[in-house]
């Protein structure tokens, strides 16, 4: 069963259970998926679904931070509840040690391809390669920090 099918099934389950908060979040996710399919005239695979879920999670985190600064605990709590629902659709995340090991391997591989040492000026090339390999498996903020550390050291 694809991730999109799983989300649709979870929506039906939430409807039957009359879980309006979970249902609202899942509908929001399905709307984002449908919008992407219509805009790009494609059928989304699991990787694309994970990318959209990741984007929605980042939006929720930013909203929570903004609401907390504005002292709107009620809105921050609502966003936090949505965040928990969305996180259930992400694959298991890599630990910081695993991310660092993957980044090191990619930097070494890129250095071999380029035929020279990879330095801070190659941040864009490294991030492109890392993003392609670790998309959905790790937090990109954590990945970026690992890449900077690897290129600096």
Give the per-residue pLDDT at 144. 83
Whether residue 78 sits in one domain with residue 28 = yes
Residue where a domain terminates, one of 87, 111, 128: 87
Least confident of 9-23, 70-84, 97-111: 97-111
How much is the average pLDDT of 67-87? 95
Please report, for the domain that includes residue 134, its CATH number. Answer: 1.10.10.410
Residue where a domain terminates, one of 45, 62, 87: 87
- Give percent of the chain with pLDDT exceeding 90: 52
Whether residue 50 sits in one domain with residue 103 = no
Whether residue 58 sits in one domain with residue 15 = yes
Q: Are 20 and 11 in contact (CB under 8 A)?
A: no
Give the per-residue pLDDT at 5. 93
Whether residue 80 sits in one domain with residue 14 = yes
pLDDT in tens, 121-143: 778 888 888 887 887 778 778 88
Whether residue 114 sits in one domain with residue 83 = no
Whether residue 77 sits in one domain with residue 9 = yes
Whether residue 103 sits in one domain with residue 42 = no
Whether residue 40 sits in one domain with residue 110 = no
Whether residue 122 sits in one domain with residue 48 = no
Whether residue 82 sits in one domain with residue 107 = no
Whether residue 71 sits in one domain with residue 41 = yes
CA angle, corner 133, sides to 7 and 127, nearest 5?
115
Structural domains in the chain (count): 2
What tokens does 144 get?
């970026």
pLDDT above 90 (res 148) = no
Residue where a domain terminates, one of 56, 87, 118: 87
DSSP letters spanning 68-131: HHTT-HHHHHHHHHHHHHHHTTSPPPPPHHHHHHHHHHHHHHHHHHHTS---GGGHHHHHHHHH
Whether residue 112 sits in one domain with residue 55 = no
Please report, for the domain that includes residue 25, its CATH number. Answer: 1.10.1510.10
pTM check: above 0.85: no
Structural domain that includes position 105: 96-152
């Amino acid at each position: 069963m694809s991730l999109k099918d799983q989300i649709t099934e979870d929506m039906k389950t939430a409807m039957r259970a009359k879980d309006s908060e979970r249902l609202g979040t899942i509908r929001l996710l399905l709307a984002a998926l449908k919008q992407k399919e219509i805009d790009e005239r494609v059928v989304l695979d699991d990787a694309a679904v994970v990318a959209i879920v990741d984007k929605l999670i980042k939006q929720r985190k930013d909203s929570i931070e903004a609401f907390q600064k504005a002292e709107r605990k009620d809105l921050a709590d609502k966003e936090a509840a949505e965040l928990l629902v969305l996180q259930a659709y992400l694959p298991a995340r890599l630990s910081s040690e695993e991310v660092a090991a993957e980044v090191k391997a990619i930097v070494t591989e890129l250095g071999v391809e380029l035929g020279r040492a990879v330095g801070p000026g190659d941040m864009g090339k490294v991030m492109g390669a890392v993003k392609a390999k670790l998309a959905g498996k790790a937090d990109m903020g954590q990945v970026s920090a690992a890449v900077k550390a690897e290129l600096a050291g």
